[in-house]
């Protein structure tokens, strides 16, 4: 049998803390390794497979689009792209009805930062401690964790980090030079911390009154993950820009930035080769249709509540706190999380860390009750 692991080690970069696992197949909430061993997947490609791995509707859309037109740059109009733009505008919270399509979360954040500076003529961006927005230089400048930033100085100037859920601290950093506030509604990589209603209401009011743009990063929380189409919907939050990616196209790489009419960008000031390509657009149209038809938002709410209630009921000894919104779940442990991630893998459940002590679960929203029970049972065995 080909040694895929050796090939990756020889010719890839060792950028990721790898698990000793070669995944070759997936269906809904299950994945299989090269030896045919089955796992319940609470990683979902890092929060991508909301509609399940290899969703039938996505397969169908991608297969038929692949035979028609795969690439079509933004200098031409395109049928599937125009349909997706209209669909995203219809789903957008508030009046963020103009869409820029790109290829990843970091790219959607980069676009938001450029659009904010261009629109306001100002440079400063206020973001949050524990916030995560990606690895490219602009997105990294907005990301908090020194572990990701330290080796890449100097980063883009003008970024300030203030404690999350602390309105007074945020307010104190807003000046005449502030272009935008950039926040996650649920901090994912930072440990699954949910914003409070008061905090978001106050931030939105302050931005409105002081002419500062509000950018919300829903790259991880978007597309039904938290029990609503977007996490903003829980808070009736209507940002000026919303960054999207991950689950948008059923597993294909795609990002999007939703903008309201305040955001003005002139021709030629930004661009992308692959952004809005017909293949990803066809996948996104199918994935979004599936989310709506199968009411994945409600499924995420109900399943997330069930799993968290089940885990809380067990009174698990190694658990400090469980935080969640829908199926975006963070289990803060008393100790380092890494050995527990490996123990879960041994028992057939894949999970993620979110910082040193938080175990994060981002299963496909299509996960079945039996699979959820298996996750609950395995966590109980390991964390009890």
Distance, CA of 79 to CA of 1 (rounded, Å): 44
Among 55, 65, 104, 299, binds ligand PLP (CB under 6 A): 104
Q: From residue 301 to residue 340, what is the string marking binding to ligand PLP with x (rule CB under 6 A)?
A: ----------------------------------------
3 is catalytic: no
Which residue, 105 or 278, is less far from ligand PLP as judged by CB?
Answer: 105
Among 41, 110, 124, 184, binds ligand PLP (CB under 6 A): 184
76 is catalytic: no
Hey, is 299 helix, strand or coil? helix
Helix 278-293 × helix 296-314 angle, to 10°: 70
Choose among 370, 361, 307, 310: nearest CA to 333.
Answer: 361
Site for ligand PLP in 30-89 (CB under 6 A): 46
Which residue, 216 or 375, is less far from ligand PLP as judged by CB?
Answer: 216
Question: What letters, b where the CB count within 10 A reaches 16 and e where it falls short, cover 176-202?
Answer: eebbbbbbbbbbbbbbbbbbeeebbee
Q: Of the listed pieces 25-33, 80-88, 98-106, 373-381, which binds ligand PLP according to CB under 6 A?
A: 98-106
| Position of minimal CB gap to ligand PLP | 105
Which residue, 26 or 188, is less far from ligand PLP as judged by CB?
Answer: 188
Q: From residue 269 to residue 308, what is the string marking binding to ligand PLP with x (rule CB under 6 A)?
A: ----------------------------------------
Enumerate residues 6+ apart whose C-beta is below 8 A from 187.
Answer: 128, 130, 131, 132, 164, 193
Contact assessment for residue 51 and residue 291, using Cβ atoms and an 8 Å cutoff: yes
Q: From residue 224 to residue 253, what is the string marking binding to ligand PLP with x (rule CB under 6 A)?
A: ---------------------x--------
Catalytic entry in 100, 132, 235, 340: 132
Query: Which position has the token pair 């885990």?
Result: 311
Choose among 181, 247, 246, 189: nearest CA to 216.
Answer: 181
Q: Torsion angle, CA of 276/362/293/246, rounded to 10 degrees? A: 0
Distance, CA of 109 to CA of 122 (rounded, Å): 17
Catalytic entry in 159, 217, 235, 240: 217
Token readout for 91 is 């789903």
Among 26, 52, 93, 134, binds ligand PLP (CB under 6 A): 134
Is 189 a binding residue for ligand PLP by CB under 6 A? The answer is yes
Which residue, 105 or 275, is less far from ligand PLP as judged by CB?
Answer: 105
Contact assessment for residue 371 and residue 42, using Cβ atoms and an 8 Å cutoff: no
Is 188 a binding residue for ligand PLP by CB under 6 A? The answer is yes
Which residue, 144 or 290, is less far from ligand PLP as judged by CB?
Answer: 144
CB of 384 to ligand PLP, least distance (A): 30
246 is catalytic: yes
Choose among 193, 139, 190: nearest CA to 165.
Answer: 193
Element (H, E) at 193: strand 193-194
Tell me which residues are annotated as active site: 132, 217, 246
Q: Which residues would be at the binding site for ligand PLP (CB under 6 A)?
A: 46, 104-106, 109, 132-134, 184, 188-189, 217, 219-220, 245
């Amino acid at each position: 049998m080909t040694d895929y692991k050796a090939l990756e080690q020889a010719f890839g970069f060792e950028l990721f803390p790898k698990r000793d696992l070669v995944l070759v197949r997936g269906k809904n909430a299950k994945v299989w390794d090269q030896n045919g061993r089955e796992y319940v997947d609470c990683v979902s490609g890092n929060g991508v497979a909301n509609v399940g791995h290899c969703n039938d509707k996505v397969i169908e859309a991608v297969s038929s689009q692949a035979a028609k037109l795969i690439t079509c740059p933004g200098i031409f109009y395109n049928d599937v792209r125009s349909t997706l733009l209209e669909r995203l505008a219809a789903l957008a919270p508030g009046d963020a009805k103009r869409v820029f399509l790109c290829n990843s979360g970091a790219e959607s954040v980069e676009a938001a930062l450029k659009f904010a500076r261009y629109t306001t003529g100002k440079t400063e961006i206020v973001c949050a401690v524990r916030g995560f927005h990606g690895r490219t230089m602009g997105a990294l400048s907005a990301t908090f964790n020194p572990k990701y930033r330290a080796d890449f100085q100097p980063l883009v100037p003008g970024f300030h980090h203030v404690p999350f859920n602390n309105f007074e601290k945020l307010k104190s950093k807003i000046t005449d030079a502030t272009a935008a506030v950039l926040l996650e509604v649920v901090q994912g990589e930072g440990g699954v911390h949910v914003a409070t209603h008061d905090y978001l209401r106050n931030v939105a009011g302050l931005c409105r009154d002081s002419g500062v743009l509000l950018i919300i990063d829903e790259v991880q929380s978007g597309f039904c993950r938290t029990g609503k189409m977007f996490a903003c919907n829980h808070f009736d939050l209507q940002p000026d820009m919303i960054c999207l990616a991950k689950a948008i196209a059923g597993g294909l790489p795609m990002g999007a930035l939703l903008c309201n009419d305040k955001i003005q960008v002139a021709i030629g000031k930004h661009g992308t080769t692959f952004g809005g390509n017909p293949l990803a657009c066809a996948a996104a149209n199918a994935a979004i249709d599936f989310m709506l038809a199968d009411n994945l938002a409600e499924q995420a709410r109900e399943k997330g509540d069930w799993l968290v209630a089940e885990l809380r009921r067990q009174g698990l000894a190694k658990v400090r706190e469980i935080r969640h919104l829908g199926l975006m779940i963070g289990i803060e442990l008393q100790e380092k999380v890494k050995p527990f991630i490996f123990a879960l893998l041994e028992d057939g459940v894949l999970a993620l860390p979110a910082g040193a002590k938080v175990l994060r679960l981002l299963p496909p929203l299509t996960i079945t009750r039996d699979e959820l029970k298996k996750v609950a049972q395995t966590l109980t065995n390991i964390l009890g």
